[in-house]
Structure 1
């Protein structure tokens, strides 16, 4: 009996060892696979393409990001390496979320803080004053970036805007990657914010910002959709206005106005006589931040007292920061413009 029990025990042990070996082989065959980078340069397509790689069947929603225990990407997480192409046509590859970012423009600083990446900001330009935490960051110059101060922050990414064009190539020559953006429309601003969320692995936070901006825009569009458009003059800097093809022009249109300067393109100095002839019903002007008062300038201009907007007191200030920065507060400027143009419809 003792020998029989011993033989049975040996047989059970051998069987158990065999099963464990088979299981180990099976697990090795089902391990996580290394992602094969596709070289995608269009940020808007990154998530869809990466999601397709991880899709087990046609019924499952594509995800991107860190892998869960079953080998699939976690929703709302960025999967690296990530390739994006910026507004200058430069392709950047990110092996992980940047940890040290220098911002050369207030709009980019606000975007980073809005998506929850403020802790990764190690340097900002002189004009980055929002949110309050941004103003406390080390300064790296204004429009003329202090390259020495910039390098001292040891950034692994620099974010830049249209006002920084002159210095971008110099920074890239120092082997510091630069992500450059130059949005011309509200949709492009929202897309930029979402792309930064993708780069920084802050997709959920960026999505919330984008959804709020879209909701603000829809509120305005719905409120003024049946209202007659009013003639509007915008002065964003003393003696300067904006024509077609710029985000400020779009804001005026979305807010239920017709930009009287829309016959020209870009940013340009005004012809006072043409403004008088156009006779705007509403005047919007930037104010704040130590800027010389545009309102005082308007009051002193010969003949402007005959403009309907001036005669009727329809002159409305908008904070210069929110009206001029292509960042997350741009729809706040849209709401302010709509309240000024159609105060009976937008509250």
Structure 2
């Protein structure tokens, strides 16, 4: 790869992911059907559990969101220090960035959910006879649906996981179907950080924008794919592309806003800035690939609908 986002940004993308209105599909606090003991032993994603897990440790914010969305929240006894949704999750000082096998084992888990195998933590925990389910950052919506299904199987909530998948699919389909067709597609710039790292339409995030009919100005910067879908643009190239919409996924981490964008040299006259189409996204929703992906698609659709047809 030629250019990559900084290591910390890559880690954040992998661990929080990506990566929903139709209202949020994650209904925290809603009563969940009891997990069925008859569903065990259960196998999914290379993991076999002899019985329903009751002490789940999640080291990925997306995994945490999924577990609570499918009704397995009561089985989660600890989550990593970055998991913050839904409200009231059992946050701990465990780290998904630098996982420590001894600290995790001290929680007596019967299932650990991770998104990246940092420090070969899976092997370390396996040696301690602790089952580990790995859910990499989704590259497609089908990947997200597969992980939802796997976690439903492993936690004894297969039916509720299936319902969640259907809700996400239907929510996205309804939103996309309602977007008015345009003679000329709108263009957009998606900002990961202040150094102009972005995403192409070949990434999970980019595919959502493509579904809504938007053209990504970052695609030419990674035409050969050597940046892995995360090219670093230049301020000059962004100004030259003059996108119709700008989406900021660095509002919480880096305090970026329509005002800070307007203050950048040469940016005040960009179509998106001039016409008020700079969209401040919630960093968490924009970087995770759980059920709240519907919320992200809703934000994209809302922004598109505010741009007058030419």
Shorter-chain TM-score range: 0.7 to 0.9
Does the 8 A contact of 2:253 with 2:283 survive in 1?
Answer: no
Report what 1:161 is aligned to: 115
Q: Deviations over 1:253-306 (max 9, x none)?
A: 122211111232422332211111211110011255454325454233322223
Report what 1:260 is aligned to: 217
Report what 2:6 is aligned to: none
Distance 1:269 1:164 in 2: 25
Does the 8 A contact of 1:235 with 1:285 survive in 2?
Answer: yes
Question: How well do the aligned residues superpose, as a CA RMSD in angstroms?
Answer: 2.4
Report what 1:238 is aligned to: 194
Does the 8 A contact of 2:277 with 2:307 survive in 1?
Answer: no
Report what 1:229 is aligned to: 185
Q: Deviations over 1:187-221 (max 9, x none)?
A: 22122112211111112221221122112111122
Report what 2:269 is aligned to: 306
Indicate the structure with greater helix content.
1
Give the alignment partner of residue 205 of structure 2, picking from 248, 252, 270: 248
Distance 1:339 1:256 in 2: 13
Whose relative contact order is higher, 1 or 2, with alpha carbons under 8 Å and at least 6 apart?
A: 2
* Aligned pairs (5 A) from 1:61-80: 79-80=39-40
Distance 1:325 1:290 in 2: 15
Does the 8 A contact of 1:140 with 1:147 survive in 2?
Answer: no
Report what 1:203 is aligned to: 158
Give the C-alpha shift of residue 104 in structure 1.
0.7
TM-score (norm 1): 0.69
Task: Say which SS state the counterpart of residue 123 (structure 1) adopts.
Answer: strand
Distance 1:284 1:149 in 2: 38
Distance 1:250 1:165 in 2: 31
Does the 8 A contact of 1:77 with 1:203 survive in 2?
Answer: no
Distance 2:282 2:144 in 1: 18
Report what 2:23 is aligned to: none
Structure 2 vs 1, CA of residues 261 and 247 (structure 1 numbering), >3 Å: closer, same or farther? same
Distance 1:185 1:138 in 2: 30
Larger deviation, residues 140-149 vs 210-219? 140-149
Give the alignment partner of residue 83 of structure 2, picking from 128, 132, 135: 128
Q: Rg bigger for which structure?
A: 1
Report what 2:238 is aligned to: 275
Report what 1:341 is aligned to: 304
TM-score (norm 2): 0.77
Report what 1:99 is aligned to: 54
Distance 1:340 1:282 in 2: 8
Give the C-alpha shift of residue 184 in structure 1.
0.9
Give the C-alpha shift of residue 329 in structure 1.
0.5
Task: Say which SS state the counterpart of residue 251 (structure 1) adopts.
Answer: helix
Report what 1:55 is aligned to: none
Structure 2 vs 1, CA of residues 208 and 268 (structure 1 numbering), >3 Å: closer, same or farther? same
Does the 8 A contact of 1:286 with 1:294 survive in 2?
Answer: no
Report what 1:46 is aligned to: none
Report what 2:5 is aligned to: none
Does the 8 A contact of 2:201 with 2:210 survive in 1?
Answer: no
Unaligned runs of 5+ in 1: 1-75, 86-90
Unaligned runs of 5+ in 2: 1-35, 223-227
Report what 2:292 is aligned to: 329
Distance 1:255 1:77 in 2: 42
